[in-house]
Structure 1
Amino acid sequence: MARRKEKTLNRDDVLREAFVLLEERGLAGLSMRALAERLDVQAPALYWHFADKAELVSLMTRAIYDEARGAVTSGGTARDWLLAYGRALHHRLATQRDAARLCVNAAPIGVSSTDAASAIAQPLTARGMEREWALEAIASVTSLALGWASFEANGPMHDFLEGMIDLNRSFERGLQALVEGLIPNPAV
């Protein structure tokens, strides 16, 4: 009997394929077994890279947030950063099937809450905001993007809202109003 050749996996490749699987099957179809089949490996091979599905989902979520943060240019004020981050996150969530649901359901992993808070707040603290204020502002913009993307992904709600408003324009107006309320001083 011929032995099956071992396939070399790395975490980045597995994450990339997990996003493809999410796009194809949605969150309900994202499982370790389905991912292993997609990668043509046995499911236990995935556990060298992820403790369980919860860790996979958490790392996928981290990748979504990292991508949105990475899309923001380094210059500008705190207001500019928040607007750019909100737009980038909304775009990422709106273009990946079930991405908003994935993010809402994932547990944070990997670092202490103190370290995470400093890293999350860093783009705004570097622009002169206090850490707590920065965290609240980022959480508010993140919540708007997640909620808006959830409405857009819900077929009946999407159709209902689209009949009344321009969804993209309305998100932009809401984002600008939120950021204006969070940072009323244009210099910050």
Structure 2
Amino acid sequence: MTKIDRARVADTALRLLNEVGLDGLTLRAIARELDVKAPALYWHFKDKQALLDEMATVMYRRMLADDLPGPGQGLEPGPAPVTWQAQLIAYNTALRTALLRYRDGAKVYSGARFTGTDHAPGLEAHLRTMTEAGFTLRQAVRAGTTAFSYTLGFVTEEQGVQPRPDERRDGFDTDERAARMAEFPLAAAAGPEIFSGYDERFEDGLLLIVAGIEARYGVG
């Protein structure tokens, strides 16, 4: 019988996710890919949600391994950003990049409970940066979770149109949409802005979040 462990199951599940998507990712399909019987997986994961938790944790670990600061707003891999604004932008830019590597990556990540504490050092450091900048801990948490929720929601919608960077679902042709909505000229013209240009839109939205945090809490 093939020998498996948690790491191998999670790795196989993430690889299979890109082929079949979250709806097609069943324990039976994963077991078949591993050449084992489905009950063998229950030695490692009590149910599918437990496996999704581990998959999200592996996704996060792989993001850390890529040297977290991302390409948003001129940030390049290297020294950690110093300001809270740059940290929020760098982290959420890197998170979006990590989620887009997997079909339905945002759906897997949403609501998952990390199975380790790999995220704790980075979270501790960021909260310290924010509280030292003048935020209360409550404000710092709300600011961070708001930016995080924006990223998850944005990527969920993005992957609804483009499941993978090189794919686009039928029904999202902006010219066809404009023709159907010709009697609503502004709504018709908005199509390309709504269903394309995701990189620029994400960065602009993230800047709006940061500006809103500054305005709401009066911390620059």
Smaller-chain TM-score bracket: 0.7 to 0.9
The alpha-carbon distance between structure 1 residues 88 and 29, as it changes in their structure 2 partners (threshold 3 A), is: same
Q: Which amino acid aligns with 1:132?
A: R
The alpha-carbon distance between structure 1 residues 107 and 88, as it changes in their structure 2 partners (threshold 3 A), is: closer
- Counterpart-to-counterpart distance in 2, 1:176 and 1:52: 39
**CA shift for structure 1 position 42:** 1.2
Higher relative contact order (CA 8 A, sep 6+): 1
- Counterpart-to-counterpart distance in 1, 2:141 and 2:172: 30
SS at match of 2:100: helix
1:49 aligns with 2:44: yes
TM-score in terms of structure 2 length = 0.68
**CA shift for structure 1 position 48:** 1.7
- Counterpart-to-counterpart distance in 1, 2:60 and 2:123: 13
Matches within 5 A, 1:152-163: 152-155=158-161, 159-160=173-174, 163=192
Deviations 1:6-58 (A, max 9, x none): 22212112111110111110001111111010011111221121111110012
Q: Which amino acid aligns with 1:149?
A: V
1:172 aligns with 2:203: yes
The alpha-carbon distance between structure 1 residues 87 and 158, as it changes in their structure 2 partners (threshold 3 A), is: farther
Determine the structure 2 residue equivalent to 1:137.
Answer: 143
Unaligned runs of 5+ in 2: 70-78, 162-168, 175-189
- Counterpart-to-counterpart distance in 2, 1:118 and 1:134: 15
Matches within 5 A, 1:43-122: 43-68=38-63, 71-72=68-69, 74-104=80-110, 106-108=111-113, 110=115, 121-122=123-124
> Mean Cα displacement is larger for which, 21-30 or 126-135?
126-135
> Mean Cα displacement is larger for which, 30-39 or 161-170?
161-170
User: Which structure: larger Rg?
Assistant: 2
The number of aligned residues is 177
SS at match of 2:43: coil
Identity among equivalent positions (%) equals 30
Judge conservation of contact 2:88–2:147 (CA < 8 Å) in 1.
yes
**CA shift for structure 1 position 128:** 4.2
Q: Which amino acid aligns with 2:2?
A: K
Deviations 1:96-146 (A, max 9, x none): 100112223x443658xxx99976741312324243223212211111111
Q: CA RMSD for the aligned pairs?
A: 2.9
Unaligned runs of 5+ in 1: 1-5
TM-score in terms of structure 1 length = 0.79
Deviations 1:43-100 (A, max 9, x none): 1221121111110012212333444456245342221111111101111222310011
The alpha-carbon distance between structure 1 residues 57 and 158, as it changes in their structure 2 partners (threshold 3 A), is: farther
Q: Which amino acid aligns with 2:192?
A: G
